[in-house]
Structure 1
Amino acid sequence: MKQYLKKTALFVLCCSFAFSGIAIPMSVNADTDTNAAASQSITAGGETSANIKDITFAPGKDASQVNFTWYSNKDTSDPEVQVALKSDMTGNEFPESKAQTFKGEKSNGNDGYSSNKVTVTDLQPSKEYVYRVGDGTTWSSANNYTTQDISKGFNFLLAGDPQIGAGGDIDKDTTGWVDTVKKATDKFSSSSFILSVGDQVNNGKELNGQTNELEYDGFFKPDQLKNIPVAAITGNHEGYGVGHTTHFNYPNESDKYGIFTNNGYESDNSNGTTGNDYYFVYGNTLFLMLNSNDINAEDHKAFMQEAIAANPDVKWKIVSMHHSIYSSANHETDADIAARRVTHPEVFQELGIDVVLDGHDHCYTRSYQMVDGQAVSGKDDTSVTDPNGVLYITTNSASGSKYYEIQEPNYNNYFEAKKEQDKVPTFSNVSVTDKNFTITTYRTDTMAPIDSYTINKTTSHKNVSRLAGQNRYETAAKISQNNWNEADTAVLVSGQSYADALSAAPFAKLKNAPILLTSSNTLDSNTKSELSRLKVRTVYIIGGTGVVSSSIESSLRNMKMVVKRISGNDRYATSLEVAKQIKSPKQVFVASGAGFADGLSVSSYASLSGSPIILTDGKQLSSDILKYVKDNSSTPYVIGGNGVVDDSVVSSLGAVRISGSDRYSTNLAILNKFNDKYDLSNIYLASGSDFADALSGSAVAGEKSAPVVLIGKSDLSGAKNYIQGKLSGVGQITILGGEASVSQVTVNKLLQ
């Protein structure tokens, strides 16, 4: 509800301003025949024909794939791409007998053309390929594509707002774009791809008939675009009519997020087929490509969380979106830009985004490292190491079709580390390794650099991994997948209510079983799949039907599993029933059942030592619990301060209290108390703000006799001191949960 009110208030705020709109050039005379290109024939470069034009290909979902797109006449058959090694080619003849054929799909494109899309897979690094596109009968000429060796890093080219047609002369704008692409690829011939940050075309309004197809022809004019992938995102000018999604082929495109359906933020009410958010992974980097025509930051956040969870081991996370966040020219004060400046940076910061690349303002701006809307890097910094915050780059025009004036040329805003408007086309080269991200921007008239900036990443520990899913249920399943190939037994607890689940970890260790999560009434699909993969025969449900319903039991029995439930009248009685499963424990841990933190803190040690966790309401213990402790001659420990468990409970047990000033210091007190019992070759990190990830991980930590360190959102000094003190003997650090639970920024701080 709070998010809904925030979004509604933001919409009303933005609509209260007068929008600046999009600059539309005055109409000029131009060829009104929208199929003028159809009379051209295939050249040696494979440019156009009556049947094939606008050939392009984009990075696929990873470096082994590329996604092809081209336009053809309506009467062509289903699309195909043939790919072969260049070494198999004899002269200019395409080696058809040695080529692999990939088939795809076609749809309706602009101006009566068919749009053809094909994905090519299984490409190998450092190979020279030749390809041709067609329909099995009619083919383009052969074109070259060389894959790169990215084992030690890679570079890509960054282009802002070619916006062919914005200058009122498509030919002139095309010439500028062709010049930039040629100079950039000549200078950086081993580039992996070109990233274009939107407004590839203008809108066609300067042409009679209002088509933008001739502008797309201009964008695809550079011969080099048939030899290097282009990763494009939609700009506001792609909102006019169809064209963008039919000329580009996205990998991993969301069907839920980044949907633009005219949300009222552009004064001309542009609305078109612009594509949704998508992502791809290249080497060590996750590229999150956002359709920023959708102004809703929460939509983009949900998309990025899913993409990050699916790719937890990347070194860098780069966002690309068209609309600028921190820029210096005409759009800086637009209401929709001001709105994004309020909502988007906090999302990028929370998710540990390293760099945001955008355009829209036709003027180069590099921000400082930005945290909470404030600059945190130095004025003259051109290289930073393990910085806080996010870097924002706004690109200038790569074609020279249109420039905007710097609003305050002699004054630096709080976010401007560097700004430049020389009214010369620019492009950037971006170099990425595991340890460095460097972006250098060049003007195309002299090819002199106008700015360069490097982010260095160091780590005091190499073996850091993350186990995360798109939600807590999938995270639990991934933790299980990483540690069990098979399991006769699994422990199933509520993913919504912590109370009964807290006592589960020692019992799971006893059974050598993973802990999996379920909602109250429906068995989660991730959990169901993991139970099947493990070939589980027996499932123990912890808690009554109020937290895990009888319908879950039915689902499990339908999977041919034996179901056993351990429960009591309430959480305290349930904890005792679980404790009774552990015979003759030498220690017993008593923690508050009114919160999860203290029970969670001791769960990994309780597991490895075979010690039950019994819950109290903080005021008293039942006679049954007192009898259980006495009968087993167990040494009792109370976890937490007297604010959660009274001294009277400690006295009634004759217990030792282990506590700190808060949940995090209590966690560290436990770790230090039993320091000699842990095998510190493994350390697990989990959020102390929720129970699910740490609970699922405690079963694994118990198996490996490893500590689970709870991580907070602010003061990290205690956790950092503990981890740094153990690093020399640690072989593996595992983060439990996604970026929203424990961000990479936090991990970097802990390991610096």
Structure 2
Amino acid sequence: MKRKYIAAVLTVFAMTTVCSTAFASTEHYTDSSIVGAETGWDEWVANWDETASDFTKVSLTPGKDDTELNFAWYSEKTDAAATPVVHFGTDKDALDTFEGTSGEVDQDLTGDKAYEYNHVTVTGLEPNTTYYYTVEKNGEQTEPVEYTTKSTDTVKMIYVGDPQVGASKGQTQDGAELVPDDGAANTAARNDGFSWNRTLNTALAENPDVNFVISAGDQVNKTGAAKEEEYASYLSADALTSLPVATTIGNHDSLNPDYAYHFNNPNNTENGKTAAGGDYYYSYGDGLFIVLNTNNYNVAEHQNTIEEAVKAYPDATWRVVTIHQDIYGSGLDHSDTDGMILRTQLTPIFDANDIDVVLQGHDHTYSRSKLLYGDGQTHQSYEFSLNADGTDYDWDHAANVETGEQITLNPEDGDTEAQAALDAFHEDNQCYTIEDVDGNTVTDPQGTLYMTANSASGSKFYELVSTQQDYIAARSQNWLPSYSIITMDAAKFSIDTYQITDDGSVEAIDDTFTIEKTAK
């Protein structure tokens, strides 16, 4: 039986555009009316109309290195020119002025109301320093916001997967179905935005010294459609006024330019582009972070990005890649189908560029791989092709790039030929070697660690595959929102993962895993 169905028919952006498929989520989700009953849910609901209609919230993104900070926000379009200006400094009464760029927002995405996006980069930041900032919206400064940098000798990050605000659509809350309607009528986005905020607040209460967040994609839910109320809900999280997020383009983000309006990513490249943007990279502390838009299946372009980033920051101790699709995951809906598609191509590229860690999302389950490297053999390359009328990807098949063969991913019972082709596809994707190491602290490994994050908001969960793959060291699905804390310095890279129970308690769901390096 097929576990996937097409949710909508969309206009294709380009041959590399990702599909609008919705997957078979389970009955489990985080009901904010229950987990937030005593912690602000009623107030959130009372303010929801205002929250959902405010498209002008500021988003912060790491700059090209830890001395920079990127800003993005909408302002209403008027007869006057936009004012993409940030005022920033240590003295709130004497802030320095930083100017940037602006552009028009597609009004089809904002209910035909005219907005402009503003992108500004602030430079000259020092660690362990308290700053203040305001932004200009149509020439008017906002109220000052405090922003404090942390140490760059030891860097701490919150790593999350799939907040996917709005994905709880169809679930039941207080006897009514959560719906993905536009604006304030999007009760699914109302539910999920509260839980996303709760996760960030919980993680920061436990880890107040975090430098920034890494999101492995799918910030929002409505694929290829207007969804500003979902972005408004996502960006309304308390922490995000003073906490940068390095986002990844997920399949639900990929089809519209609204992602590129809302997030001012550093070192943007022309590689791996879909409507939402392409690959980018940045340096922070001892790490080089490379973010690939794997909704584009042109792996040669992703390779170019990785090589460009390594050349730009050759002395980084750690090389970390973030992708949305989990090429080594353990979720039922993706890990053995579309998640696997790029495995044969990306594994040797990661090996050749000494990538230490790959952070993934997409499968709404948690898993940690063993240390993996390529098997040194020649393998086929795969991708998704467009369907017959060119409106979407053909999610029932994987395409062999070299031969053009269409591989049915869910063969009908008794179709022995299709099953044999699928078996051969799976066999070809056994393209990895499992490194022989002991324990959860490893020194100077050859292989790469692959992490898959569960949903940070709990808006949607998937099942694990019935049989744990041999490349997986640990996995879990407890139907609870989760997050990881990454701690990185010049000698160690450690990751701890936690889940948040309905009563707000924080529980570890895996042992600490640490990679040590004795030399770069």
Q: 1:25 Cα shift?
A: 8.2
SS at match of 2:475: strand
Kindly indicate whether the alpha-carbon contact (under 8 Å) linking 2:498 and 2:507 is maintained by their aligned counterparts in 1.
yes
Output aligned runs, 1:495-574, within 5 Å.
Answer: none
| Alpha-carbon distance between aligned partners in 1 of 2:20 and 2:88, rounded to the nearest angstrom | 47
Identity of aligned residues (%): 35
Q: 1:294 Cα shift?
A: 1.2
Show CA shifts across 1:400-447 (max 9, x none). Answer: 000000111xx3311110010000000010000111000101101221
Q: Does 1:243 align with 2:243?
A: no
2:104 to 104, 108, 113: 108
Kindly indicate whether the alpha-carbon contact (under 8 Å) linking 2:189 and 2:233 is maintained by their aligned counterparts in 1.
yes
SS at match of 2:88: strand
Q: 1:23 Cα shift?
A: 2.4
Q: Does 1:375 align with 2:438?
A: no
Cα distance 1:131–1:49, how it changes in 2: closer, same or farther (>3 A)?
farther
Q: Report the counterpart of residue 420 of structure 1 in structure 2.
A: 476
Q: Report the counterpart of residue 493 of structure 1 in structure 2.
A: none
2:516 to 450, 456, 464: 456
Q: Report the counterpart of residue 155 of structure 2 in structure 1.
A: 154
Kindly indicate whether the alpha-carbon contact (under 8 Å) linking 1:279 and 1:286 is maintained by their aligned counterparts in 2.
yes
Q: Report the counterpart of residue 497 of structure 2 in structure 1.
A: 441
| Alpha-carbon distance between aligned partners in 2 of 1:99 and 1:49, rounded to the nearest angstrom | 30
Q: Report the counterpart of residue 200 of structure 2 in structure 1.
A: 181
Show CA shifts across 1:170-214 (max 9, x none). Answer: 111111101001011111111110111100000168xxxx42111
Kindly indicate whether the alpha-carbon contact (under 8 Å) linking 1:201 and 1:219 is maintained by their aligned counterparts in 2.
yes
Q: Does 1:83 align with 2:143?
A: no
Q: 1:56 Cα shift?
A: 1.0
Show CA shifts across 1:89-115 (max 9, x none). Answer: 4xxxxx1xx110111111122413211
Cα distance 1:218–1:377, how it changes in 2: closer, same or farther (>3 A)?
farther
Residue type of the alignment partner of 1:415: Y
Kindly indicate whether the alpha-carbon contact (under 8 Å) linking 1:25 and 1:166 is maintained by their aligned counterparts in 2.
no
Residue type of the alignment partner of 1:23: F
Kindly indicate whether the alpha-carbon contact (under 8 Å) linking 1:48 and 1:54 is maintained by their aligned counterparts in 2.
no
SS at match of 2:342: helix
| Alpha-carbon distance between aligned partners in 2 of 1:241 and 1:220, rounded to the nearest angstrom | 17
Output aligned runs, 1:727-738, within 5 Å.
Answer: none
Q: Does 1:197 align with 2:212?
A: no
Q: 1:374 Cα shift?
A: 1.9
1:71 to 62, 71, 74: 74
Kindly indicate whether the alpha-carbon contact (under 8 Å) linking 1:290 and 1:321 is maintained by their aligned counterparts in 2.
yes
Q: 1:154 Cα shift?
A: 1.0
Kindly indicate whether the alpha-carbon contact (under 8 Å) linking 2:327 and 2:335 is maintained by their aligned counterparts in 1.
no
| Alpha-carbon distance between aligned partners in 2 of 1:136 and 1:125, rounded to the nearest angstrom | 31
Q: Report the counterpart of residue 279 of structure 2 in structure 1.
A: 277
1:403 to 454, 461, 472: 461
Q: 1:215 Cα shift?
A: 0.5
Q: Report the counterpart of residue 366 of structure 1 in structure 2.
A: 368
Show CA shifts across 1:638-684 (max 9, x none). Answer: xxxxxxxxxxxxxxxxxxxxxxxxxxxxxxxxxxxxxxxxxxxxxxx
| Alpha-carbon distance between aligned partners in 2 of 1:299 and 1:198, rounded to the nearest angstrom | 19
Output aligned runs, 1:568-587, within 5 Å.
Answer: none
Show CA shifts across 1:482-523 (max 9, x none). Answer: xxxxxxxxxxxxxxxxxxxxxxxxxxxxxxxxxxxxxxxxxx
Runs of at least 5 residues in structure 1 that lack an aligned partner in the other structure? 1-14, 27-36, 41-46, 90-94, 261-272, 460-747
Q: Report the counterpart of residue 486 of structure 2 in structure 1.
A: 430
SS at match of 1:237: coil
Output aligned runs, 1:696-707, within 5 Å.
Answer: none
1:295 to 279, 282, 297: 297
Cα distance 1:338–1:135, how it changes in 2: closer, same or farther (>3 A)?
closer
Q: 1:307 Cα shift?
A: 1.1
- Which of structures 1 and 2 has the larger relative contact order (alpha carbons within 8 angstroms, sep 6+)? 2
| Alpha-carbon distance between aligned partners in 1 of 2:352 and 2:372, rounded to the nearest angstrom | 12
| Alpha-carbon distance between aligned partners in 2 of 1:279 and 1:65, rounded to the nearest angstrom | 13
Kindly indicate whether the alpha-carbon contact (under 8 Å) linking 2:272 and 2:279 is maintained by their aligned counterparts in 1.
yes
Show CA shifts across 1:518-572 (max 9, x none). Answer: xxxxxxxxxxxxxxxxxxxxxxxxxxxxxxxxxxxxxxxxxxxxxxxxxxxxxxx
RMSD: 2.5
| Alpha-carbon distance between aligned partners in 1 of 2:454 and 2:464, rounded to the nearest angstrom | 11
SS at match of 2:89: strand
Q: Report the counterpart of residue 119 of structure 2 in structure 1.
A: 117
Q: 1:137 Cα shift?
A: 3.1
Q: 1:388 Cα shift?
A: 1.3
Q: Does 1:228 align with 2:243?
A: yes
Cα distance 1:25–1:429, how it changes in 2: closer, same or farther (>3 A)?
closer
| Alpha-carbon distance between aligned partners in 1 of 2:121 and 2:338, rounded to the nearest angstrom | 36
Kindly indicate whether the alpha-carbon contact (under 8 Å) linking 2:369 and 2:474 is maintained by their aligned counterparts in 1.
yes
Kindly indicate whether the alpha-carbon contact (under 8 Å) linking 1:288 and 1:318 is maintained by their aligned counterparts in 2.
yes
Cα distance 1:165–1:347, how it changes in 2: closer, same or farther (>3 A)?
same
Q: Does 1:218 align with 2:233?
A: yes
After TM superposition, the structure 1 stretch with the greater mean CA deviation from structure 2, 109-118 or 62-71, is 109-118
SS at match of 1:298: helix
Kindly indicate whether the alpha-carbon contact (under 8 Å) linking 1:24 and 1:166 is maintained by their aligned counterparts in 2.
no
Residue type of the alignment partner of 1:457: K
Q: Report the counterpart of residue 565 of structure 1 in structure 2.
A: none
Output aligned runs, 1:674-693, within 5 Å.
Answer: none
SS at match of 1:241: coil
Residue type of the alignment partner of 1:259: K
Residue type of the alignment partner of 2:204: T
| Alpha-carbon distance between aligned partners in 2 of 1:309 and 1:147, rounded to the nearest angstrom | 27
Cα distance 1:398–1:160, how it changes in 2: closer, same or farther (>3 A)?
same
Q: Report the counterpart of residue 519 of structure 1 in structure 2.
A: none
Q: Report the counterpart of residue 272 of structure 2 in structure 1.
A: 258
SS at match of 1:216: helix
Residue type of the alignment partner of 2:159: L
Q: Report the counterpart of residue 352 of structure 2 in structure 1.
A: 350
Larger Rg: 1
Kindly indicate whether the alpha-carbon contact (under 8 Å) linking 1:25 and 1:167 is maintained by their aligned counterparts in 2.
no
Kindly indicate whether the alpha-carbon contact (under 8 Å) linking 1:203 and 1:240 is maintained by their aligned counterparts in 2.
no
Show CA shifts across 1:27-61 (max 9, x none). Answer: xxxxxxxxxx9984xxxxxx8997x7221111000
Kindly indicate whether the alpha-carbon contact (under 8 Å) linking 1:443 and 1:449 is maintained by their aligned counterparts in 2.
yes
| Alpha-carbon distance between aligned partners in 2 of 1:147 and 1:346, rounded to the nearest angstrom | 36
Q: 1:341 Cα shift?
A: 1.4
Cα distance 1:21–1:204, how it changes in 2: closer, same or farther (>3 A)?
closer
Cα distance 1:194–1:20, how it changes in 2: closer, same or farther (>3 A)?
closer
SS at match of 2:23: coil
Q: 1:78 Cα shift?
A: 1.9
Residue type of the alignment partner of 1:330: L
| Alpha-carbon distance between aligned partners in 2 of 1:405 and 1:176, rounded to the nearest angstrom | 20
Kindly indicate whether the alpha-carbon contact (under 8 Å) linking 1:161 and 1:197 is maintained by their aligned counterparts in 2.
yes
Q: 1:333 Cα shift?
A: 4.8
Relative to the length of structure 2, the TM-score reads 0.72
Q: Report the counterpart of residue 60 of structure 1 in structure 2.
A: 63
Kindly indicate whether the alpha-carbon contact (under 8 Å) linking 1:362 and 1:395 is maintained by their aligned counterparts in 2.
yes
Kindly indicate whether the alpha-carbon contact (under 8 Å) linking 2:223 and 2:251 is maintained by their aligned counterparts in 1.
no
| Alpha-carbon distance between aligned partners in 1 of 2:434 and 2:213, rounded to the nearest angstrom | 29
Q: 1:259 Cα shift?
A: 1.7
| Alpha-carbon distance between aligned partners in 2 of 1:371 and 1:125, rounded to the nearest angstrom | 36
| Alpha-carbon distance between aligned partners in 1 of 2:162 and 2:49, rounded to the nearest angstrom | 29
Q: Report the counterpart of residue 511 of structure 1 in structure 2.
A: none
Residue type of the alignment partner of 2:508: P
| Alpha-carbon distance between aligned partners in 2 of 1:444 and 1:141, rounded to the nearest angstrom | 33
Q: 1:381 Cα shift?
A: 2.4
Relative to the length of structure 1, the TM-score reads 0.51
Kindly indicate whether the alpha-carbon contact (under 8 Å) linking 1:74 and 1:113 is maintained by their aligned counterparts in 2.
yes
Q: 1:20 Cα shift?
A: 11
| Alpha-carbon distance between aligned partners in 1 of 2:196 and 2:462, rounded to the nearest angstrom | 18
Residue type of the alignment partner of 1:184: A
Structure having the higher helix fraction is 1
